[in-house]
Amino acid sequence: MSAIKKKRISKKTKSAWRKTDIKDVEEFLEDQRQEERVGSFAEKKDDELFMVDATPLKHKPAILTEKQKRKLNAKKPLRSLEALNNTSKVQDPIVKRNRVRQKKSGRIIEEEVRNPTKPRHFQANKDRERYYETLEKKLKKEDQLTKTAKDVWAEEDFRDKIPGLKDEKGWISKELALHVTKNVGKPVIKVHDSIRHRTTKAKKFAAPPPGLSYNPSLDDHQALLKEVVEREEKIIKEENHLKRVTTQMFSKVTPEERDTRRLQEMRSGLDDESEGEANDATEDGEYRTINPPVENKKKSKQSRRKELQQKELQKKQAEKKALKKQIADLNRIKSIKTEVIAEEEALKILKKHRKKVELKKKFETKRLGRLKYVDPDIDVNMPEDIAGNLRNVKPESSLLVDRFKNFQKRNILPVSVATGKQKSKKVKRFPRSTHKDPGVSFQMLREQRKVGQTY
């Protein structure tokens, strides 16, 4: 199939014969003549015919790694864009076509640096220089040792930093200097006093209770234990109270009864409906309410007059009573006095109490967030844990938690439940295709159909 078939041509005429290809015959004859002149291969020795080639002419193509292959491939134009290449041999009929010329990728920076022509080149060069300076400085990596090796608390004037503001003659007032610094872009910002306002009067460092010692005296340890017990009892009491007020308020029911009740409740309307319908059916579709209709009753003139009279009479009686009481009070001035004094005293006590509460509040932790601060448990070693020597100390409590709670107590951090909760990223999970069960694809169906046709 691949070989080209020779065209059969008729050899009827002389001219047709002339056209026949005799090249192969002539070639063969020529070969024979050549052999006669030079000699055949068979006669010659191997040495004359062959030579040993010691050095390879061409280097073997190196085996490329995957990475190199990828890099080479990356240099090639994209396969997807191959269709855009013009493969036609036909020349463009329009000689002077307006083609979109591709820009050169990026500027030639070397050229710009070597002989800058435009002002922006000069600017760019200057910027670049500055950039590399900072880069070099940063790459040197400032040591932490030298970072803090200076005296921050040394007295310094803001006027020293900006040249021209420092004057010995006192011509530039402080206000003017402040104004200048603001407009130069290095404003001096005053720290307002309220930022350092202490929000709680509680001490920063609370001395540890003596019972916290690794080898405490009996009294101290007992005192601490007592405190712990008291606090625990308070918590238990609170819990019991809540339990009594909430869970114990509800009547208890066995599960069977609950189920039956539920069933009843759910089907409560079902049975009545049929009855209701029956009732409705008996009467006409007339609208009726449960309450009787309201009638507008008019008061008679006589009754109105009598009412007014009654009211006046009552008023008069009340006045009389008040007068009588006043006269009676004259006789009991002494007891009134005591009453007033008692009232005043009660008020005073209330005032005192309020003041006390207010003062107490000053030492307490403020409510900063949604949750209230709760004091952490007191750390204490149980009597059996106290070893009495330093080797067997049982360290209680974590210092980190202790500090964290302390910050919360001192209103530095708001309390939150989800302390340090990390948001987990939402990941959509699915099995890899290699682990999938072989599903049914369209191709498989088609193949099956084909197989069915053949049989």
Residues 189-248 touching other proteins, rule: CB under 8 A, are 189, 191-192, 194-196, 199, 204-205, 207-210, 212-218, 220
Instruction: State which H helix or E strand residue 400 sits in.
Output: helix 399-409
Q: Give the CA radius of gyration of the chain.
A: 55
Q: Contact with other proteins (CB under 8 A): which of 41, 50, 153, 455?
A: 153
Residues 351-390, interacting with other proteins (CB under 8 A): 366-370, 379-381, 388-390
φ and ψ at 283, to 5 degrees? -95, 170
Closer by beta carbon to other proteins, 116 or else 404: 404
Residues 390-409, interacting with other proteins (CB under 8 A): 390-391, 393-404, 406-407
Minimum separation from the CB atom of position 391 to other proteins (A): 5
Minimum separation from the CB atom of position 227 to other proteins (A): 15
Task: For the beta carbon of residue 216, count every other beta carbon within 10 angstroms.
Answer: 20
Residues 56-85, interacting with other proteins (CB under 8 A): none
Q: Contact with other proteins (CB under 8 A): which of 90, 270, 330, 418?
A: 418
Distance in angstroms (rounded) separating the CA atoms of residues 273 and 229: 62
Number of residues that bind other proteins (CB under 8 A): 71
Instruction: Provide the token pair at 68.
Output: 């190199």
Minimum separation from the CB atom of position 407 to other proteins (A): 8
Residues 28-47, interacting with other proteins (CB under 8 A): none
Minimum separation from the CB atom of position 375 to other proteins (A): 15
Closer by beta carbon to other proteins, 357 or else 418: 418
SS3 (DSSP) at 451: helix
Closer by beta carbon to other proteins, 125 or else 406: 406
Closer by beta carbon to other proteins, 62 or else 152: 152
Query: Do 9 and 20 form a contact (C-beta atoms < 8 A)?
Result: yes
Minimum separation from the CB atom of position 155 to other proteins (A): 10
Minimum separation from the CB atom of position 185 to other proteins (A): 11
Minimum separation from the CB atom of position 66 to other proteins (A): 15
Query: Do 373 and 408 form a contact (C-beta atoms < 8 A)?
Result: yes
The one segment of 33-41, 92-100, 113-121, 415-423 that binds other proteins by CB under 8 A: 415-423
Distance in angstroms (rounded) separating the CA atoms of residues 188 and 158: 8
Instruction: Provide the token pair at 382.
Output: 């149980």
Q: Contact with other proteins (CB under 8 A): which of 24, 43, 66, 151?
A: 151
Distance in angstroms (rounded) separating the CA atoms of residues 219 and 210: 9
Distance in angstroms (rounded) separating the CA atoms of residues 347 and 338: 14
Distance in angstroms (rounded) separating the CA atoms of residues 161 and 150: 17
411 binds other proteins (CB under 8 A): yes
Minimum separation from the CB atom of position 406 to other proteins (A): 8
Minimum separation from the CB atom of position 378 to other proteins (A): 11
Where helices occur in 39-105 by DSSP H, the ranges are 46-49, 66-75
Return left, alpha or beta for 79; rule: phi > 0 is left, psi -120 to 50 is alpha, else beta: alpha
449 binds other proteins (CB under 8 A): no
Q: Contact with other proteins (CB under 8 A): which of 78, 149, 278, 357?
A: 149
Return left, alpha or beta for 289; rule: phi > 0 is left, psi -120 to 50 is alpha, else beta: beta
The greatest distance separating any two alpha carbons of the chain, rounded to the nearest whole angstrom, comes to 174
- List b or e across 35-46, with b for residues whose CB sees 16 or more CB atoms inside 10 angstroms: eeeeeeeeeeee
DSSP conformation letters of 313-345: HHHHHHHHHHHHHHHHHHHTHHHHHHHHHHHHH
Q: Contact with other proteins (CB under 8 A): which of 9, 39, 176, 187?
A: 187
419 binds other proteins (CB under 8 A): yes
Minimum separation from the CB atom of position 352 to other proteins (A): 15
Closer by beta carbon to other proteins, 48 or else 157: 157
